[in-house]
């Protein structure tokens, strides 16, 4: 019985460790999105300072291509929408991962207590 509990404990521990790796990756991705959000907000502010007489260029590969100011503003707005949506998606994902992580911690704790109880029981029976 102790061996089965030990295997279950090991399995749960591996799942928990994988979940922690996934949390770390998701947090890293979210931080990158936050950096992109900041950059794009700065671009939006800069574009707001321009008027129709200013020339805006878009970098496509190694070439700068002239772009309409309204088109540039629309592109940045769409990008901001997308980034905000992705940030929300990662927030939801991280909350779900935290919930699963808590469940794994509870299962691990229960299994550890069960193993400890079995060890004490065996120890008491051997002394009798």
CB 9 within 8 A of CB 115: yes
- For residue 15, what pLDDT is reported? 94
For residue 128, being part of any structural domain is answered with no
CATH number at residue 108: 1.10.287.370
Domain carrying residue 103: 2-121
Pairing between strand 63-67 and 56-60? antiparallel
Would you call 4 helix, strand, or coil by DSSP?
A: helix
CB 44 within 8 A of CB 38: no
Per-residue pLDDT tens digits for 99-124: 999 999 999 999 888 888 877 777 77
Nearest to 90 by CA among 40, 26, 7: 26
- Check: pTM over 0.85? Answer yes or no: no
Per-residue pLDDT tens digits for 24-67: 999 999 999 999 999 999 999 999 999 989 999 999 999 999 99
Report the number of distinct structural domains present in the chain. Answer: 1
For residue 54, being part of any structural domain is answered with yes
For residue 13, being part of any structural domain is answered with yes
Nearest to 26 by CA among 96, 79, 82, 84: 96
């Amino acid at each position: 019985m102790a061996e089965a509990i030990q295997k279950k404990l090991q399995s749960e521990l591996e799942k928990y460790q994988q979940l922690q790796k996934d949390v770390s990756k998701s947090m890293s991705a979210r931080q990158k999105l936050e950096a992109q959000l900041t950059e794009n907000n700065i671009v939006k502010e800069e574009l707001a300072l321009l008027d129709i007489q200013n020339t805006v260029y878009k970098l496509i590969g190694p070439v700068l291509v002239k772009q309409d100011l309204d088109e540039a503003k629309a592109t940045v707005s769409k990008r901001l929408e997308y980034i905000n949506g992705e940030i929300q998606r990662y927030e939801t994902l991280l909350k779900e991962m935290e919930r699963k992580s808590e469940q794994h911690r509870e299962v691990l704790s229960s299994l550890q207590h069960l193993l400890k109880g079995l060890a004490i029981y065996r120890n008491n029976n051997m002394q009798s």
